[in-house]
């Protein structure tokens, strides 16, 4: 019966067009065609749980966003490689995109006043090095030696419709020492971005609100923190809980938290900044994410 339903004709609940065999995108109470789904925000993560009415509201918001984006004049650009944050200092607005032609991608425009938190994190990844002894066996050095790299992540918490945060790796090349010029440059750039996205810095004028964005009466305090370094254990089977306990099993021996999922591309080693929301394909090499990419 389920196989027969697969070939039933489906109609898009938004545009009314017929949906092809592989073009259906499920909603909570209907179906969405591939073309309409392509117009959703790239930051939207709960499409399957959204109703038809919510998707229609979202698409109307996306049309208004095009006009807001057209009126922007970015004065600052932050980020490296293909991941960028553009800031319009004059209007107190910004957007995040991974596309070179950002006008075609229609990235969501946010007001700086919608930022409720900024969390920069520096992850220290340590890999123990080995060598071969006279018998050709692979053995560790004594004392142990490690290859170290530092990954800079940024998480921007938002009070905005359809999106509550933007998380991504800020670094492209990863420095091997806090004393290196690359480490210090990345640290300065992240702190500079935090300063620009702190609403207090825009008190001289009233930032232009998003067209169609709801008025939020309760303003949450802005969290401004210094970057913290999360040291990773040298043992690849170990993991560090949020309470600071180093563990080997599936649950923390100190507080009982479950070991978080960690995705790493099995082709190039790229890791998503948010391990709970990995992309379908690696943005670095295009390899599909599946169970083989669980570290």
Q: Specify the pLDDT at position 223.
A: 40
Judged against a pLDDT cut of 50, whether residue 210 lies above it is answered with no
- Alpha helix (H) residue ranges in the chain: 2-6, 34-37, 52-71, 102-105, 181-196
pLDDT in tens, 139-155: 888 888 888 999 999 99
Q: Taking the model in full, what pTM does it have? A: 0.63
Q: How confident is the model at residue 276 (pLDDT cuts 50, 70, 90)?
A: low
In a domain, 183, yes or no: yes
Cβ atoms of 21 and 8 within 8 Å: the answer is: no
Q: How confident is the model at residue 201 (pLDDT cuts 50, 70, 90)?
A: low
Average pLDDT, integer, range 3-13? 70
Q: How many helices (H) and strands (E) does the chain have?
A: 5, 17
Q: How confident is the model at residue 287 (pLDDT cuts 50, 70, 90)?
A: confident
Look at the chain and report how many structural domains it folds into. 1
Rounded-to-10 torsion of CA 109, 115, 117, 122 = 30
pLDDT in tens, 217-238: 333 333 444 454 545 555 556 6
In a domain, 252, yes or no: no
In a domain, 40, yes or no: no
> Which of these ranges, 34-38, 46-50, 209-213, has the smallest mean pLDDT?
209-213
If one compares 81 and 122, the residue with the highest pLDDT of the two is 122
In a domain, 128, yes or no: yes
Average pLDDT, integer, range 265-275? 68
Cβ atoms of 263 and 273 within 8 Å: the answer is: no
In a domain, 112, yes or no: yes
- Gap between the Cα atoms of 44 and 62, Å rounded: 11
Q: Provide the domain limits for residue 160.
A: 75-226
Percent of the chain exceeding pLDDT 70 equals 74
How confident is the prediction for the chain on average, in pLDDT? 79
In a domain, 3, yes or no: no
In a domain, 174, yes or no: yes
Locate tokens 């021996």: which residue? 253
Q: Specify the pLDDT at position 170.
A: 93
In a domain, 210, yes or no: yes
């Amino acid at each position: 019966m389920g196989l027969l339903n697969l070939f039933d004709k489906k109609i898009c609940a938004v545009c009314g067009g017929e949906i092809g065999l592989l073009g259906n995108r499920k909603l909570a109470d209907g179906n969405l065609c591939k073309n309409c789904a392509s117009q959703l925000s790239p930051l939207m993560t709960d499409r399957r749980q959204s109703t038809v009415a919510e998707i229609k509201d979202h698409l109307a918001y996306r049309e208004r966003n095009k006009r807001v984006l057209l009126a922007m004049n970015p004065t600052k650009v932050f980020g490296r490689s293909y991941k960028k944050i553009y800031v319009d200092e004059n209007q107190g607005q910004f957007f995040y995109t991974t596309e070179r032609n950002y006008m075609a991608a229609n990235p969501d425009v946010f007001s700086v006043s919608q930022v409720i938190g900024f969390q920069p994190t520096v992850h220290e990844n340590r890999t123990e090095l080995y060598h071969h002894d006279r018998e050709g066996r692979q053995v560790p050095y004594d004392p142990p030696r490690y290859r170290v790299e530092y990954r800079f992540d940024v998480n921007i918490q938002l009070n905005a419709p359809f999106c509550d945060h933007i998380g991504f790796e800020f670094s492209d090349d990863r420095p091997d020492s806090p004393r290196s010029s690359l480490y210090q440059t990345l640290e300065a750039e992240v702190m500079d971005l935090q300063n620009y996205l702190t609403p207090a810095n825009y008190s001289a004028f009233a930032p232009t609100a998003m067209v169609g964005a709801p008025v939020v009466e309760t303003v949450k305090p802005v969290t401004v923190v210094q970057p913290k370094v999360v040291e990773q254990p040298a043992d690849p089977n170990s993991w560090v809980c949020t309470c600071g306990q180093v563990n080997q099993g599936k649950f923390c021996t100190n507080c009982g938290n479950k070991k978080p999922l960690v995705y790493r591309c099995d082709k190039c080693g790229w890791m998503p900044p948010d391990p709970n929301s990995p992309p379908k394909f690696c943005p670095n090499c295009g390899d599909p994410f599946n169970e083989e990419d669980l570290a």
